[in-house]
Amino acid sequence: MSLVITPWFGAVKIGDYIKRRGYEGAKKALSIKPEDVIEEVKKSNLRGRGGAGFPTGLKWSFVPRETDKPKYLCVNADEGEPGTFKDRYIIENAPHLIIEGAVIASWAVGIHRAYVYIRGEYLKFALILEKAIEEAYQRGFLGKNIFGKDFSLDIYIHRGAGAYVCGEETALIESLEGKRGNPRVRPPFPATNGLYDCPTVVNNVETIACLPYILREGGENFASLGVEKNGGTKLFAVSGHVKDPGVYELPMGSSLRELIYNYAGGVRGNRRLKAVIPGGSSSSILMADEIDVSLDYDSMIKAGTMLGSGAVIVLDETACMAEVLRVITRFYAHESCGQCTPCRQGTSWMAKIAERIAIGKGKKGDIDLLLDIAHSIMGKTICPLGDAAAMPVIAICDKFRSELEEQIRERRCPIERE
Amino acid sequence: MSNRKRIKITIDGKEIETYEGTLIIKAAEDAGIYIPRLCYHEALKPDGNCRMCFVEIEGLRKPVPSCLTPAKEGMVIRTDTDALKKHRSSILEMILTTHPMDCPICDQAGECALQDYYFQYDLKESRWREKKEKKPKRVHWGKNLIYDAARCIICKRCVRFLDEITGTQELGVFERGIHSYIGLFDGNRIENDYSGNLVDICPVGAITDLDFRFKSRVWFLNRTPSICPFCARGCNIEIHTNTKNPFSSQRVYRIKPRKNLEVNKWWICDEGRYSYEFIDSDRIEYPMARGKKTSWDSVRQEILKIVGKDVRLYVSAWMSNEELTYWMQIAKTFDWKLSLVGKPRGKGDEILKLPDKNPNRKGAEILGIREEIGHEEVAVVFHFLPVSLERHKIKIGIFTNKFEGMDKFDIIIPAAVFAEKEGSWTNFQGKVQNFQKALEPIGEAKSEGEIGEFLANTLGLDLQWEIGKYREEFEKELRKWNG
């Protein structure tokens, strides 16, 4: 089985990376026309790995080719979705994948300046990436006349200041401009009006890290690794009550059960599986009998949840759903930027109710109220953070209603623990 | 924008015509359909943060904010479906969860968007059972502004106003999520000349006016359309009065702007807003002779003394078009000289304020009245002292407010201020704008028209003060002047 990203793990130094055929993809890209690079990426069925799953080649093609304005690439390394730690692994273990990917994307779209927006807490990884960028400059893979071509690219690292919402592409752009990280109203989209109002591509670290493979092995090869409309492989960050938590690379379309039991070693302590949050904390929770689902964007949506960032959080029978609800709602209330009403007011209200339920002060009718607030937020906010806050609440309240009601009635957690 | 395409759209079953690209909220309002909003203000760039103005558009999966969606040919829009009503109710319920509900002590009560919409769209018991957030209250923002973060709905109209209209950028949003509040950037205070407008555009009671705070409930106020007298722009204003307050003799409570896109748009400057005190204080309420109260009969005696003498009228640039025309007629009949007095020039700015601090210099210019000093035996002076009065032996004044040197006048006749009479002024653009009578003249004061009639009658001239007639005559002059 071919893998796209993890085989390069460990090649932190540029010499090691080149030994493993590093920068061949970038060389290949620069030897063909930019349009053909975009075509290759379209063929690969690569979809945005940040969570939205938007086809990458299509996203690039929205950027105007001829324009008087400069164009920018923003590599989104503001990995903030709870449960997600895949981008950190890529940066830590194979930073040159990102640099090479950035060269490819920039050549394809006609970009000469790229920013890596990395979350503030990732200082160690920012330093690793900075070292790698230095190495790439020394070899002439960055800077002027890359590979002897009339093409230049500069990469800058920008560290975030700890706001989850800055992972949203327009908030990221605002933050990069030095402003408060509030998401922008769309349209216009960044492809035409992004950083400094110029055409901008924002791609996730993992998306960028897939590009060297696509260019080296061909788009069709990448597409064939996955399933229909979902090319390639995906990194899954498995955490929670499993024996072997960690980052695993699986082809698109693998089953969630396979990931949990064959890769992550199954539920720890041989306990029963209770539920799985399959795509980061904003994805709808799946119950134990719902995990025979194919891990690709479309199947997950059909299953009523989403692939998201590929952060799989496994919960065993000891997990208290009121506690899960409290942690998740508190997170979104804390991270709401506060600019639009439903998210600012609604997330905080939900968090307060969930907090009450968790400490045994729930009231009759709280579950219906939570559902009503969540539905009032859904689809009504400026950015997807509102939906991200509402979806898990709706799923937990629907699927674990009886447990939550018992908690409210009994004023304590109904889960028996030893 | 005349090259923009005219299109047809349907809102709530009503077909309307608009320009392509007009925001739906605006197109609907122009057609008489009001979509509720909190953050949208037609003067400011839409921000789309309150989420109140959602509408449904046929063919779109989800409702969209009408303040951000431009109209396109053939759009079919609904503003009143059950789902939208439910949505508005949710938004209001969510806002009210953190609202202090202190309407009984809030100045905004009675003209508060939140209050009005609650009655219109929500009107149910709150399901909020949690503790309210504590936020800063009574924050002094400078000059006359007081901010209450607990009442604030973070619509950012104030931030955007200071960004887009004055460009002074004193305010920003601080903290995030539910803890967000509007605050001054370090070292700033709002001292710009347009700060009072923030009170007007705040849809709730978050920004209140120190000048008006706790002085009157808004439903006790009478609102009279008028024109600001403080410069040649002639901003359209509303005078808010209350003459029935048993606890105060204050008559004017506040001045508010009236929208007029050609003159002042939505705004007025702070000078125009806060300088109403002269209407109620230091007024001349009775005829005065050499600084002492006197009777109308002695005024009549004094006037009779000028018969047969050379007279110069110093009419003022604060008099109405009609009054100026009328007094010109009087002067012509008696063969008196006429010149203009007014307030000296001051500072202007790029927004509204003009250096000419008089409301009707243009009207006087149209009538051909110029500033000049005379040496006739008698001077009749209106409102402002000319450069020199030395050469005139008999001095008759027609003044509204007390001033230094009143005792030098043989007679001072108390005149009504603009708020106590009706009339029109011609602004710097040549626009004739009407102001209406908001109050009865104070004490025994009379309008300059009535004073003219009194003077003419005393001198045996039957020339009645008829405002309509002199308006017509002024307009004749205006047409001549316009060519």
Q: Do A158 and A214 fall within a single domain?
A: yes
CATH number of the domain at A390, please.
1.20.1440.230
ipTM for this prediction = 0.92
Q: Do A91 and A51 fall within a single domain?
A: yes
What pLDDT is attached to residue B387?
83
Residues A339-372 have pLDDT tens digits of: 999 999 999 999 999 999 999 999 999 999 999 9
A340 closest CB neighbour out of B49, B90, B133: B49
Whether residue B52 and residue A341 make contact (CB cut-off 8 A), yes or no, is yes
Q: How far apart are CA A104 and CA A41, in angstroms?
A: 10
Instruction: Work out the percent of chain A whose per-residue pLDDT is above 90.
Output: 97
Residues A39-80 have pLDDT tens digits of: 999 999 999 999 999 999 999 999 999 999 999 999 999 999
Q: Do A98 and A247 fall within a single domain?
A: no
Distance from CA of B185 to the nearest CA of A (A): 13
Average pLDDT of every residue of chain B: 95
Considering only CB atoms, which chain B residues are within 8 Å of A380? 51, 54, 63, 87, 91
Residue A158: alpha-carbon gap to chain centroid: 18
Q: Do A295 and A207 fall within a single domain?
A: no
Considering only CB atoms, which chain B residues are within 8 Å of A163? 176
Best A180, A330, A340 member to test B by mutation, with max B CBs in 10 Å, is A340
Q: Do A266 and A394 fall within a single domain?
A: no
What pLDDT is attached to residue A1?
63
Name the domain boundary from A316, A351, A386.
Answer: A316
Does the pLDDT of residue B2 top 60, yes or no? Answer: no
Q: Is-above-0.90 flag for pTM?
A: yes
Name the domain boundary from A247, A281, A316.
Answer: A316
Residues A81-92 have pLDDT tens digits of: 999 999 999 999
| DSSP conformation letters of A102-114 | HHHHHHHHT-SEE
Does the pLDDT of residue B127 top 60, yes or no? Answer: yes
Q: Do A305 and A213 fall within a single domain?
A: no
> Which bin fits A411, alpha (ψ -120 to 50), beta or left (φ > 0)?
left
Residues A216-241 have pLDDT tens digits of: 999 999 999 999 999 999 999 999 99
DSSP A255: B
Does the pLDDT of residue B306 top 70, yes or no? Answer: yes
Contacts for A163-166: CB closer than 8 Å, 24+ residues apart = A163/A80, A163/A335, A163/A337, A163/B176, A164/A80, A164/A81, A164/A331, A164/A335, A164/A385, A165/A335, A165/A336, A165/A337, A165/A383, A165/A385, A166/A78, A166/A80, A166/A117, A166/A119
Q: Which residue of chain A comes nearest to B46, CA vs CA?
A: A185
A339 is a domain residue: yes
Pairing of strands B288-289, B292-293: antiparallel
Whether residue B94 and residue A342 make contact (CB cut-off 8 A), yes or no, is yes
Q: Do A148 and A182 fall within a single domain?
A: yes
A416 is a domain residue: no
Does the pLDDT of residue B3 top 90, yes or no? Answer: no
Angle between helices A205-217 and A95-109 (to 10 degrees): 80
Q: Do A199 and A280 fall within a single domain?
A: no
A261 is a domain residue: yes
Query: What is the number of residues in chain A?
Result: 418
CATH number of the domain at A305, please.
3.10.20.600
Considering only CB atoms, which chain B residues are within 8 Å of A382? 48-49
Q: How far apart are CA B14 and CA B63, in angstroms?
A: 19
Distance from CA of A306 to the nearest CA of B (A): 19
Q: Per DSSP, what are the bridge partners of residue A74?
A: A115, A202
Whose CA is closest to A70, among A117, A106, A111?
A: A111
Does the pLDDT of residue A146 top 90, yes or no? Answer: yes
Residues 6+ apart with CB under 8 A from B427: B227, B232, B233, B234, B263, B359, B362, B433
Distance from CA of B49 to the nearest CA of A (A): 4
What pLDDT is attached to residue B390?
84
- Confidence band (pLDDT; 50, 70, 90) for A417? low
Best A339, A356, A380, A408 member to test B by mutation, with max B CBs in 10 Å, is A339
Rg (CA), chain A: 22
Average pLDDT of every residue of chain A: 96
Q: Do A106 and A156 fall within a single domain?
A: yes
CB-based contact, B62 to chain A, within 8 Å: yes
Considering only CB atoms, which chain A residues are within 8 Å of B180? 338-339, 344
Phi and psi of B224, rounded to 5°?
A: -120, 125
- Confidence band (pLDDT; 50, 70, 90) for B391? confident
Whose CA is closest to B452, among B420, B416, B480?
A: B416
Q: How many structural domains does chain A have?
A: 3
Residues B229-278 have pLDDT tens digits of: 999 999 999 999 999 988 888 999 999 999 999 999 999 999 999 999 99
Range of the domain at A10: 6-225
A135 is a domain residue: yes
Determine the straight-line distance between the first and last CA of chain A, rounded to whole angstroms: 42
- Confidence band (pLDDT; 50, 70, 90) for B103? very high
Instruction: Work out the percent of chain B whose per-residue pLDDT is above 90.
Output: 93
Whether residue B129 and residue A347 make contact (CB cut-off 8 A), yes or no, is no
Q: How far apart are CA A352 and CA B259, in angstroms?
A: 43
Residues B5-47 have pLDDT tens digits of: 999 999 999 999 999 999 999 999 999 999 999 999 999 999 9
A166 is a domain residue: yes
Name the domain boundary from A208, A225, A242.
Answer: A225
Instruction: Work out the percent of chain B whose per-residue pLDDT is above 70.
Output: 100
Query: What is the number of residues in chain B?
Result: 483
Domains of chain B: 6-80 (3.10.20.740), 288-482 (3.40.50.740)
CB-based contact, A387 to chain B, within 8 Å: no
Whether residue A340 and residue B48 make contact (CB cut-off 8 A), yes or no, is yes
Q: Which residue of chain B comes nearest to A335, CA vs CA?
A: B177
Whether residue B179 and residue A369 make contact (CB cut-off 8 A), yes or no, is no
Considering only CB atoms, which chain B residues are within 8 Å of A166? none
A287 is a domain residue: yes
Whose CA is closest to A77, among A58, A99, A50, A46?
A: A50
Residues B49-64 have pLDDT tens digits of: 999 999 999 999 999 9
A418 is a domain residue: no
A417 is a domain residue: no
Burial of B390 (0-12, 13-18, 19+ CB in 10 A): exposed
Residues B183-201 have pLDDT tens digits of: 999 999 999 999 999 999 9
- Confidence band (pLDDT; 50, 70, 90) for B483? confident
What pLDDT is attached to residue B239?
98
Q: Do A247 and A308 fall within a single domain?
A: yes
CATH number of the domain at A193, please.
3.40.50.11540
Q: Do A337 and A399 fall within a single domain?
A: yes
Q: Do A311 and A334 fall within a single domain?
A: no
Pairing of strands B14-19, B236-241: unpaired
A341 closest CB neighbour out of B68, B94, B128: B94
